[in-house]
Structure 1
Amino acid sequence: MRAVICKEWGPPESLVVEDIPVPEPKKGQVRVAIHASSVNFPDVLIIQNKYQFKPELPFSPGSDLAGVVTAVGEGVTRFKVGDKVMGMTSWGAFAEEAIAEESRLDPLPEGVDFAIAAGFPMVYGTSYHALVDRGEVKAGQTVLVLGAAGGVGLAAVEIAKALGARVIAAASSAEKLAICKEHGADEVINYVEEDLREALKRVCPQGPDVIYDPVGGDLAEPAFRSIGWRGKFLVVGFAGGSIPKIPLNLPLLKNASIVGVFYGAYVKNEYQAYLKDMEVLFSWLREGKLKPRVSDRFTLDEAPSAIRRLADRKAAGKLIVEPQQG
């Protein structure tokens, strides 16, 4: 089978596509013929040895997948060969077939295609965990979403709206902000053309109740300086490339909280809670409250280019790799 392979730590251009042996599932594992896998920011980091999880070289990146079961390991009872599934694996999804733990897969919901399913678990799961569990967002609150046109950003916009919040979407271009509006944002801020703090004074004088930040970098501190009384600042990631150092007098002045969001560890350590999250998200998907956006599709050979596009923050919505195509 063919797979995208990381042989040495480096940028997306260092990845290669090669033939490798078809993997065999072990106890509790399932092998899936992958029809779609999505590109996530951890893929940018993991190939550079900058992510929390560090696989041994060589390996194939890619964590979200959707496809058809081709083999099951000892003890697997939830799935059989031929079942359509979606879910996550720590890495390995940029390949024609991959191994996933039975516990990290779900049946493909009726009427949901592979591309939509592959772009769903990580971004919506992360954003739901962040906003509901860590941020405790309530109806009527105001939520600021930074990097709002990205995969997790758009998911956060939709989930915050589903929770009854007022949503301010911040992104870097008029095109991206138009997409945020399509997905439910009430107010938008172009933080390239306008100072973020001044814009927030204009649209939310009292300050946001919750700030969702998957960007980090230079946006984090001005956003936090604008937070409302007893606000929560959700640290989701650092797509901006640098980890900010926020002065600790700032949370003191507003009785505000800086709250970490590490979705991978949450799934591992609180699996039953994760399952309940997925039940809610699937019901919202069926009801049309969530509308995942697939912005572009790539063949396996084009997967390094897809990772590069995400690394350069040129994506709006989800980038999908289709290993069975091309």
Structure 2
Amino acid sequence: MADELPLTMRAAQWTTTSGGIGKNLKVNSEAAPPKNAGKLPTDHTLVKVLYTSLNPIDYKLAETLPFIFSKPATPCLDFAGKVITSRLPHLRPGELVFGKTDPPAFGCLGTYITTSATNIAPLPPKVSPQQAACVGIAGLTAYQCLEPYVKQGSKVLINGGSGGTGTFGIQIAKCLGASEVTVVCSGGNAEMCKELGADHVIDYRTQDVIAELKRSGRQYDVVVDNVFASAQLYWACGAFLKPEGPFITIAGTPSVSSVVSIMSAMLWPTMLGGGTRQFKFVTNNGNAEMFVKIAGWMAEGKVKAIVEREYELEEAGAAFERLKTGHVRGKLVVKVAAE
């Protein structure tokens, strides 16, 4: 039976990001539910959020372009929760689901969200809501970076293997048939990455990454750069990425320097000293069938979310402070409401 939607809900919200989003998040016990919750658009579902997970885009957009948000603003895109009501015939009230909110909406640090058919999927019985809450951005992005290019026997290089997208990427690459996965991470995360399926680990703190890649002689079918601190790895990838292989990044910030770096990699002609391999910038696009695929692997025990810590809603600000260090192992999860 569907829960009755109250007039207010609990949400961690900000009205300013001056000094950082983490310092400005406050729990509002009388926040307004989604505007379309009372009259759902076609193909939409109203969900009670049980858990959410944090992604860099949650703070990067808020801190760089705060003027695009209505205030008070509620962060977070990922969710796992319970259907309240749905205009989709395959989703029933009370059923557990997961996914992400529709772009450009955030809102998952609040009790209720609405989302469309492309961004929601049923939660398999063997997968916990805490695990599923990590899939929306990181899991789906990893899948969309790899699935078009990884075949049986492929070799994959992942820069930034210990974060949310990287930990999913290692496992998904193996599920897709990769014979070798090489990751770049800190030495302290090497064993974790190997346990997830990485065959080779390069410690960026003690090794010259580019020199090591050239020395190994391995030729990769795809490179996924989850960090993209600079375009240096791309400029050098002709030595270790096959001619037909793409160099993919998901990273960057809404800043002039980041945009210039990405655009130069994409547009600078090879004849003028530009890159010799195809450069792709991948953004997450909702796809319910892909969510089902990833959840199926999770139910089979082939893929899991690495959760560094679970926070209470009142601790969401501290969770963002931790995320912004850039050294999170896997994902950070926030409990939004009790089941």
Decide: shared fold, TM above 0.5: yes
Residues 311/70 of structure 1: CA separation in 2 closer, same or farther (3 Å cut)? same
User: 1:275 & 1:187 partners in 2: Cα distance?
Assistant: 32
Read off the aligned partner of 2:223 and give its amino acid letter. Answer: I
Q: Hey, what does 2:49 align to over in structure 1?
A: 34
Q: Hey, what does 2:301 align to over in structure 1?
A: 288
Read off the aligned partner of 2:27 and give its amino acid letter. Answer: V
Matched, 1:320 2:333: yes
Which blocks of at least 5 consecutive residues in structure 2 are unaligned? 1-8
Match of 1:228 among 241, 245, 268: 241
User: 2:88 & 2:301 partners in 1: Cα distance?
Assistant: 32
Matched, 1:169 2:183: yes
Residues 213-241 of structure 1: CA deviation (Å, up to 9, x unaligned): 121113x41354033231310021127x9
The alpha carbon displacement at 1:34 in A equals: 1.5
Which blocks of at least 5 consecutive residues in structure 1 are unaligned? 268-273
The alpha carbon displacement at 1:101 in A equals: 2.7
The alpha carbon displacement at 1:40 in A equals: 1.0
Are the counterparts in 2 of residues 214 and 238 from structure 1 also a CA contact under 8 Å? no
User: How many residues were matched structurally?
Assistant: 309
User: 2:229 & 2:55 partners in 1: Cα distance?
Assistant: 18
**TM-score between the two structures when normalised by the length of structure 1:** 0.85
The alpha carbon displacement at 1:45 in A equals: 1.3
How do 1:208-247 residues align onto structure 2 when only pairs under 5 Å count?
Answer: 208-218=220-230, 220-226=231-237, 227-230=240-243, 231-238=245-252, 243=258, 244=261, 245-246=264-265
Residues 148-190 of structure 1: CA deviation (Å, up to 9, x unaligned): 100001111111122222111101x222222111111000011
How do 1:172-191 residues align onto structure 2 when only pairs under 5 Å count?
Answer: 173-191=186-204
Residues 260-298 of structure 1: CA deviation (Å, up to 9, x unaligned): 2111xx33xxxxxx2332333233222222122112100
User: 1:189 & 1:116 partners in 2: Cα distance?
Assistant: 27
User: 2:98 & 2:224 partners in 1: Cα distance?
Assistant: 26
Read off the aligned partner of 2:184 and give its amino acid letter. Answer: A
User: 2:221 & 2:204 partners in 1: Cα distance?
Assistant: 19
The alpha carbon displacement at 1:15 in A equals: 2.2
**TM-score between the two structures when normalised by the length of structure 2:** 0.82
Q: Hey, what does 1:270 align to over in structure 2?
A: none
The alpha carbon displacement at 1:209 in A equals: 2.5
Are the counterparts in 2 of residues 92 and 99 from structure 1 also a CA contact under 8 Å? no
Residues 54-100 of structure 1: CA deviation (Å, up to 9, x unaligned): 4433220111101112344xx44333321211111131001122222
Q: Hey, what does 2:5 align to over in structure 1?
A: none
User: 1:2 & 1:84 partners in 2: Cα distance?
Assistant: 20
User: 1:93 & 1:232 partners in 2: Cα distance?
Assistant: 33
How do 1:1-326 residues align onto structure 2 when only pairs under 5 Å count?
Answer: 1-10=9-18, 11-12=20-21, 13-19=23-29, 20-23=31-34, 24-25=37-38, 26-28=40-42, 29-50=44-65, 54-72=68-86, 75-89=87-101, 90-133=105-148, 136-165=149-178, 166-171=180-185, 173-203=186-216, 205-218=217-230, 220-226=231-237, 227-230=240-243, 231-238=245-252, 243=258, 244=261, 245-246=264-265, 248-249=269-270, 255-263=276-284, 266-267=285-286, 274-324=287-337
User: 1:100 & 1:181 partners in 2: Cα distance?
Assistant: 36
